[in-house]
Structure 1
């Protein structure tokens, strides 16, 4: 760990005094604001700032220095420096490319795996993924949505060597609006909910197939929701196609998606004729059943596949 100079230490001590006073004021203001509703919350500004620093790192921006973080978050540079040193000491950050820059450390990964291991979804879903993988010889995943991203939370890897070049692992995050996984996972959202999630006028384009506006995204989401699955031929990454189907929990809401990866730029019609879509939907329905999803008996919404009915849920 790099130690601060004497001048930096004096500056940071002064900043700490200011921060403590500001923190006390924030806590007092928050408590006063919540007292009227009978709700009492105690905010810790230092903890909030540390967590905000961690959330800035991403695959697209894996490395940051203190000046960049201070400017982005509106936090004094000396405070950022102390927070970075603390996070480094705990293993959540590590030095990258010299003394001044940081990247995420192993402790973040450990927390992520602890979270995944606590998910009922993955415990129940992995055996289903493995059966789907064995039946199709394709790598299979379970994906969830985290805000504007999708996150791969479980994987059954195909033994075929062609899949070794596809770098999608547990923990991989992709933009929800640009992937069919995201379209499936947003199948319950209304247009207003999508507008709240994406307030910008235009959406970031990754390929010519990426929806350009929220209205276009909503149209795509509704089409996939009504179909009950989504098929993508190189719509996000060239040379990779996928089939994805929604998983519902006991409330009836979409909580995940089951997907298979096809290492081709397009999908051979023979694969579809052989029942690949039905196999993916069957796996998604089976996981929904394990999560205590019970569709309406009249099935007026059209979301129940024949495989859900084959499980006795008619």
Structure 2
């Protein structure tokens, strides 16, 4: 195995992980030429890494197109990582209780770069909303942080330099009818969220969807996750202010209970 100048660093491992990291929700299938450009290696070198990853189950090849996608071993690792998060184990009963109390879908997410990753989803047994299936959101789903309530909560509690870097990497595309596509407008909104502790998504991700989110803190006070309650206009056609008025109290209580279980006082 090739090793970098730093004896503690494996270049082969770095290259293998770089190949796996080239796949994303927007680029789920890639050929050797695509991967070669992504990791800046020759096609022959890239193929050797790809063939090894495929043999180990981390990639799988379509026999017709000869292109690759992530294999089951990567999926297993992803779910193992999510399940190992202390916050998911602690939060589960509180999120289910919140879903049952409100009757709406409750989610929890963490920040990964300029995106959020869903690490928990709970639906009430009496929930009538169908938007979750429409958006096909599940544990492991990723969404841009700038146009989601949970994402805005997590961005709002980043250090200024970190936040600037994340916004530099954000493509402010219009996703819903009320998406904030202006960086200065979003930055001002994040400052207000940091003060209030609650973020609202008013049809910013997709038409008809509103959600309210609050932060979860660990024992040091650091915001490590966000919890949200989401409502679709087909289920409850009302104003965003009315949604916040009804859902903010139980949402804050659930987020506080999870934070307390993590040692936050």
Return the TM-score normalized by structure 1: 0.76
Q: What is the number of equivalent residue pairs in this alignment? A: 259
The match for 2:160 is 191
The match for 1:276 is 247
Distance 2:246 2:207 in 1: 24
Distance 1:96 1:227 in 2: 49
Distance 1:206 1:177 in 2: 11
1:251 aligned onto 2:217 = no
Q: How large is the Cα RMSD of the aligned pairs?
A: 2.2
The match for 2:209 is 240
**In the TM superposition, what is the alpha-carbon distance from 1:97 to its structure 2 partner?**
6.8
Return the TM-score normalized by structure 2: 0.89
The match for 1:56 is 22
* Structure label with greater radius of gyration: 1
Distance 2:145 2:62 in 1: 29
**In the TM superposition, what is the alpha-carbon distance from 1:227 to its structure 2 partner?**
1.8
1:90 aligned onto 2:61 = no
Distance 1:43 1:61 in 2: 28
Q: Deviations over 1:160-201 (max 9, x none)?
A: 35324341100001111222211101222243322222336x
Cα contact 2:104–2:129 (8 A) shared by 1? no
1:286 aligned onto 2:254 = no
Any unmatched runs of 5+ in structure 1?
1-19, 32-41, 295-314
Distance 1:99 1:273, change over 3 A: closer
Distance 1:83 1:161, change over 3 A: farther
Q: Residues 1-314 of structure 1: matches in 2 within 5 Å?
A: 23-24=2-3, 27-28=4-5, 30-31=6-7, 42-96=8-62, 98-159=64-125, 160-163=127-130, 164-199=133-168, 203-207=171-175, 209-264=178-233, 268-269=238-239, 272=243, 275-294=246-265
**Greater relative contact order (CA < 8 Å, ≥ 6 in sequence):** 2
Distance 1:161 1:273, change over 3 A: closer
Q: Deviations over 1:117-162 (max 9, x none)?
A: 2111011100001100110111111111011110000111233353
Cα contact 1:203–1:211 (8 A) shared by 2? no
**In the TM superposition, what is the alpha-carbon distance from 1:213 to its structure 2 partner?**
4.8
Distance 1:277 1:174, change over 3 A: same
Distance 2:70 2:238 in 1: 40
**In the TM superposition, what is the alpha-carbon distance from 1:272 to its structure 2 partner?**
3.6
Cα contact 2:107–2:121 (8 A) shared by 1? yes
